[in-house]
């Protein structure tokens, strides 16, 4: 998942970058509102964390402009204190949830994961599609109840596909979800990872969980379980 963090306090920004990175996010950071707006408008994102008190352009204005530009990814707002006015204004500007400073990282993470899940239409942290179950909290995957060992990149690809099960995801979008920076990207990497996921999730070649749509991308093809 690709997350943008807009926060002017360097220590906080770097700690969010590091800890979200450890949790498997590809993280982009911006140190002020203008930089943040550019990133919010120009980059493919799954979710954004935006501090309200920012230099150059206020967080509220950044959110309004991103929403006015039809950016629909979920936004989590950081408020300086436990002020109800900040929260109300943030939500009215188009944010989806908020965390008051100081916060525990675990709370930010839990809220981000919940926002991503709901954006994908999932009600619970366990994504169940037939025999394949992906737990977004534990970051584990099982097949018919047996744990499946995945590398970090394999997990990132599968989580992205399963969160949006049924939708076609382009190879370019998957590639962007793998890397933090714009270093040279090899689109063959996605084909290799998809091939490995197929072998691990469908060793008998009976389920065909990941469909290839020539020239368009990939789709997680197993139906979501009822209640998921």
Name the residues that contact Ca ion, by CB under 5 A: 8, 51, 53
Please identify, using beta-carbon distances, which residue of 36 and 120 lies nearer to Ca ion: 36
CA–CA separation, 143 and 203 (whole Å): 10
Report, in Å, the least distance between residue 145 CB and Ca ion. 46
Please identify, using beta-carbon distances, which residue of 57 and 221 lies nearer to Ca ion: 57
CA–CA separation, 200 and 124 (whole Å): 24
Query: Cβ distance 66 to 75 under 8 Å?
Result: yes
Report, in Å, the least distance between residue 206 CB and Ca ion. 53
Closest chain position to Ca ion (CB): 53
Report, in Å, the least distance between residue 9 CB and Ca ion. 6
Phi and psi at residue 121, to the nearest 5°: 85, 15
Please identify, using beta-carbon distances, which residue of 14 and 167 lies nearer to Ca ion: 14
Angle at CA 126, nearest 5°, toward 125 and 130?
150
Cα→Cα distances 24→47, 75, 80, 151, Å: 14, 18, 27, 11
Report, in Å, the least distance between residue 37 CB and Ca ion. 15
Please identify, using beta-carbon distances, which residue of 8 and 154 lies nearer to Ca ion: 8
Instruction: Find the DSSP H helices in 148-220.
Output: 152-163, 171-178, 188-201
Cα→Cα distances 184→22, 152, 189, Å: 22, 19, 12
Please identify, using beta-carbon distances, which residue of 79 and 136 lies nearer to Ca ion: 79
Report, in Å, the least distance between residue 11 CB and Ca ion. 12
């Amino acid at each position: 998942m690709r997350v943008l963090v807009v926060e002017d306090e360097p220590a906080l920004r770097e700690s969010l970058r590091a800890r979200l990175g450890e949790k498997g996010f590809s993280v982009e950071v911006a140190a002020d509102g203008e930089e943040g707006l550019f990133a919010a408008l120009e980059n493919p994102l799954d979710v954004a964390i935006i501090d309200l008190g920012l230099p150059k352009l206020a967080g509220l204005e950044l959110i309004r402009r991103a929403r006015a530009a039809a950016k629909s990814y979920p936004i989590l707002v950081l408020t300086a204190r436990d002020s109800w006015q900040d929260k109300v204004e943030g939500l009215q500007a188009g944010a989806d949830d908020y965390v008051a400073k100081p916060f525990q990282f675990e709370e930010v993470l839990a809220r981000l994961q919940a926002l991503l899940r709901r954006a994908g239409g999932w009600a619970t942290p366990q994504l169940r599609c037939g025999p394949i179950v992906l737990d977004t909290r534990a970051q584990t995957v099982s097949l018919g109840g047996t744990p499946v060992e995945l590398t970090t990149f394999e997990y990132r690809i599968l989580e992205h596909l399963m969160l949006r099960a049924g939708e076609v995801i382009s190879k370019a979008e998957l590639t962007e979800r793998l890397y933090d920076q714009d270093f040279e990207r090899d689109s063959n990497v996605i084909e290799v990872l998809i091939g490995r996921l197929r072998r691990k999730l469908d060793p008998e070649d009976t389920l065909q969980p990941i469909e290839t749509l020539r020239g368009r991308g990939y789709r997680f093809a197993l139906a979501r379980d009822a209640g998921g």
